[in-house]
Structure 1
Amino acid sequence: MHPLILLAIAIVGEVTATVSLKLSEGFSKLWPSVVVVVGYGIAFTALARLLKHGFPVGVAYAIWSAVGVAAVALIGALFLDEPFTLTMGLGIAMIIGGVLLLELGRSH
């Protein structure tokens, strides 16, 4: 499987699991709790396969975590009535910029 597809699967799994963690209300709701376990299982399995195929661990983790942070913050703001401020937006932009610098550094 193409490395970027594995990375995308890992990101979707992690974001789904993290949002479900909030929805599980401390694991007191069954189905969101099940989604947490399955989502993280999918995320870590896809990430492990990605790394097994030689994708650099620093770049993989940086992309995985940065996209996850940005997606969860936006989902929280759009669907879970959580705050999203300009400062938070700038923080996400800085995280994405850091990931881009890691990727650029890898190519030189």
Structure 2
Amino acid sequence: MRIHRSWLYLAGAIITEVMATLSLKGALNDPALYAVVVVGYVAAFFFLSRVLRAGLSVGVAYGIWGACGVALTAVFSYFIFDEPLTLMMLTGIAVIIAGVLCIELGGRKAEAE
């Protein structure tokens, strides 16, 4: 199975955006992490631009990028910063995942037509 490079770029955008966001919280105690914040957000937008250049539609790319960023940031902040992760939040993450699937499947259907 060959993964289209747009998905690899999208994974890079998600990972670097989550890294930057988590570093923003960490920078409150360690200001050196602001460098990671800047590099992470610049890298995220670079990767997102590559996603769009590779042909993924902006609605699908941005929807998945944003939704995955929110869900992963919430989960990782639970482990890294001991922030709460309630049943309501987990339910929201499940809804985000369902929304991402709807966006992806809807995007595929539109491309096929």
TM over 0.5: yes
1:4 matched to 2:7? The reply is yes
Count of residue pairs the alignment pairs up: 106
1:80 matched to 2:47? The reply is no
1:99 matched to 2:78? The reply is no
What is the percent sequence identity of the aligned residues? 49
User: How much does 1:30 deviate?
Assistant: 3.4
Q: Give the RMSD, CA atoms, in angstroms.
A: 1.4
| Unpaired runs of at least 5, structure 2 | none
User: How much does 1:85 deviate?
Assistant: 0.4
Partner Cα distance (2:100, 2:60) in 1: 7
User: How much does 1:58 deviate?
Assistant: 0.6
| Unpaired runs of at least 5, structure 1 | none
User: How much does 1:81 deviate?
Assistant: 0.9
TM value normalised by structure 1: 0.92
Greater mean deviation of Cα atoms: 28-37 or 87-96: 28-37
- Deviations 1:10-45 (CA, angstroms, capped at 9, x unpaired): 0111000000000111xx743210000000010000
Partner Cα distance (1:105, 1:71) in 2: 23
Partner Cα distance (1:5, 1:102) in 2: 18
